[in-house]
Amino acid sequence: MDITDIKKIAVIGMGTMGPGIAQVMAHAGYEVAGYDLNKDSYPLARQVIANNLDLLIEAGMAKPEDLDKTMAKIKLVDTMEEALDGAQVVVEAVSEKRPIKKAVYEEIDKIASPDAMIWSNTSTLNIFDLMVPARLPRTIIVHWFAPPQVLPLIEVVQGSETLPEVVDLTLPFLEGLGKRPVLIKNYVPGFIINRLLRILGRETYFLLDNGYVTPEDLDMAVKASIAPRMMVLGLAQRYDFTGLDLTYANLHNEEFVDAPVDDEPEFVVSRVKKNHLGIKTGIGVYDYRGRDKADVIKDRDRYLLKVVNSLQFCLEKKRLL
Ligand SMILES: NC(=O)c1ccc[n+]([C@@H]2O[C@H](COP(=O)([O-])OP(=O)(O)OC[C@H]3O[C@@H](n4cnc5c(N)ncnc54)[C@H](O)[C@@H]3O)[C@@H](O)[C@H]2O)c1
């Protein structure tokens, strides 16, 4: 298969992630068939895509005529057969539960063309263990970040049986969508970003639970320091500026004690007990009560678009420094 042979994409699962992924593909001109077991998800999916496009137009990242053109390229269909018919790429974005993924892979295997590539959006699962073995050579993890129509990173994880030609098709295809795919050469739980976030989470809970800092000040500290610095230097290049000798000495600083592993941090547990789950219940770390959930999400996306748009120069493939 050549990249120009890709004409139709099937997106299986129209929950939180599916609609944004479908939107990016359709905006780039591909025919998209969305499918979900739960047809009640379709009106919301359509609404979310239309709202997302409105925001892109407002940010100058899409033209007003793109709204109708993109919507016309997305068909939300009744059956898996209709979705997979003629699709060169199958995007699996169903619930993150092993039995659900496994059953969906068996269904896909029965229907999809033998040449079709299967891209899983799993965040954590080793889906290579769940896939029908005959499909492994054309299966790859293609992990988008929420909101997928805004954030450029896509983690692409090659399985031990994934054919090199599948990797060689997937990466340029995603770049053609304006994304920044990064290849992970073998499955490791959490890939890159969720591994890093896990460590940052542990330190966040430690600092907050021990009363060293408020959530507001912790967030300000991050936004005013490592967030912009990371945009210029990432994580690895930063050591060239710190100096690797100093980095080595820091590793052996005996006064620095790592936060203990704590799977029951008060910061999380106390809020879960009160049903303070975040924007879905109107209150979590911060209080959003009295505001419409969709408006809060829209504002978040508006700010994210502003940031991503103005920092594009940091995402050029050629090195900044
Ligand atoms: N939510 C995020 O922030 C996020 C970010 C990156 C990756 N992911 C990954 O993307 C995938 C989807 O996550 P989500 O948050 O969109 O989940 P979700 O629960 O919001 O949506 C999943 C959808 O799958 C549908 N589904 C379940 N069984 C099905 C079946 N047999 N056939 C067709 N559809 C079926 C459900 O009806 C639901 O609409 C997961 O693997 C998740 O780990 C999620």
pTM of the predicted model as reported, rounded to 2 decimal places: 0.96
Pocket test for ligand 1, best of 95, 126, 300 (most atoms within 8 A of CB): 95
* Ligand 1 atom at shortest distance from the alpha carbon of 95: 22
Per-residue DSSP letters for 260-301?
A: PP-SS-HHHHHHHHTT--BTTTTBSSSB-TTS-HHHHHHHHH
Ligand 1 centroid, distance to 137 Cα (angstroms): 23
pLDDT tier at 317, thresholds 50, 70, 90: confident
Atom 15 of ligand 1 has which residue's CA nearest to it? 16
Q: Give the mean model confidence (pLDDT) for residues 245-266.
A: 94
pLDDT tens-digit map of 114-153? 999 999 999 999 999 999 999 999 999 999 999 999 999 9
pLDDT above 90 covers a percentage of the chain that reads 98
Q: Which one of 159, 184, 209 terminates a domain?
A: 184
> What domain range is 281 assigned to?
193-315
Domain assignment present for 119:
yes
Residues in the chain: 321
Domain assignment present for 55:
yes
Q: What is the mean pLDDT of the chain?
A: 97
Q: Are residues 162 and 44 in the same domain?
A: yes
Tell me the CATH number at 129: 3.40.50.720
Q: Are residues 115 and 250 in the same domain?
A: no
| Helix, strand or coil, per DSSP, at residue 40 | coil
Q: Which one of 118, 151, 184 terminates a domain?
A: 184
Residue 165 pLDDT > 90: yes
Domain assignment present for 321:
no
Q: Are residues 40 and 157 in the same domain?
A: yes
Q: Are residues 211 and 164 in the same domain?
A: no
Whole-number pLDDT of residue 61: 93
Ligand 1 centroid, distance to 95 Cα (angstroms): 3
Q: Are residues 199 and 176 in the same domain?
A: no
Residue 223 pLDDT > 90: yes
Backbone angles phi, psi at 151, to 5 degrees: -80, 135
Q: Are residues 178 and 234 in the same domain?
A: no
Q: Are residues 199 and 160 in the same domain?
A: no
Domain assignment present for 320:
no
Q: Which one of 148, 167, 184 terminates a domain?
A: 184
Domain assignment present for 296:
yes
Whole-number pLDDT of residue 240: 98
Q: Are residues 130 and 235 in the same domain?
A: no
Domain assignment present for 110:
yes
Q: Give the mean model confidence (pLDDT) for residues 232-237.
A: 97
Whole-number pLDDT of residue 96: 97
Comparing CA positions, the residue from 27, 12, 53 lying closest to residue 142 is 12
Task: Report the domain count for the chain.
Answer: 2
Whole-number pLDDT of residue 257: 84
Atom 26 of ligand 1 has which residue's CA nearest to it? 94
Q: Are residues 172 and 204 in the same domain?
A: no
Domain assignment present for 152:
yes
Q: Are residues 174 and 227 in the same domain?
A: no
Atom 41 of ligand 1 has which residue's CA nearest to it? 122
Ligand 1 centroid, distance to 132 Cα (angstroms): 20
Count CB atoms within 10 A of the CB of residue 192: 15
Domain assignment present for 95:
yes
Q: Give the mean model confidence (pLDDT) for residues 148-159.
A: 98
Pocket lined around ligand 1, Cβ cut-off 6 Å = 12-18, 36-38, 41, 93-96, 100, 103-104, 121-123, 143-144, 146
Q: Give the mean model confidence (pLDDT) for residues 37-66.
A: 96
Tell me the CATH number at 261: 1.10.1040.10
pLDDT tens-digit map of 169-218? 999 999 999 999 999 999 999 999 999 999 999 999 999 999 999 999 99
Whole-number pLDDT of residue 11: 98
Residue 301 pLDDT > 90: yes
Rounded to whole angstroms, the Cα distance separating 211 from 199 reads 19
Q: Are residues 38 and 168 in the same domain?
A: yes
Q: Are residues 119 and 220 in the same domain?
A: no
Who contacts 170 (Cβ-Cβ below 8 Å, separation ≥6)? 117, 119, 140, 142, 156, 181
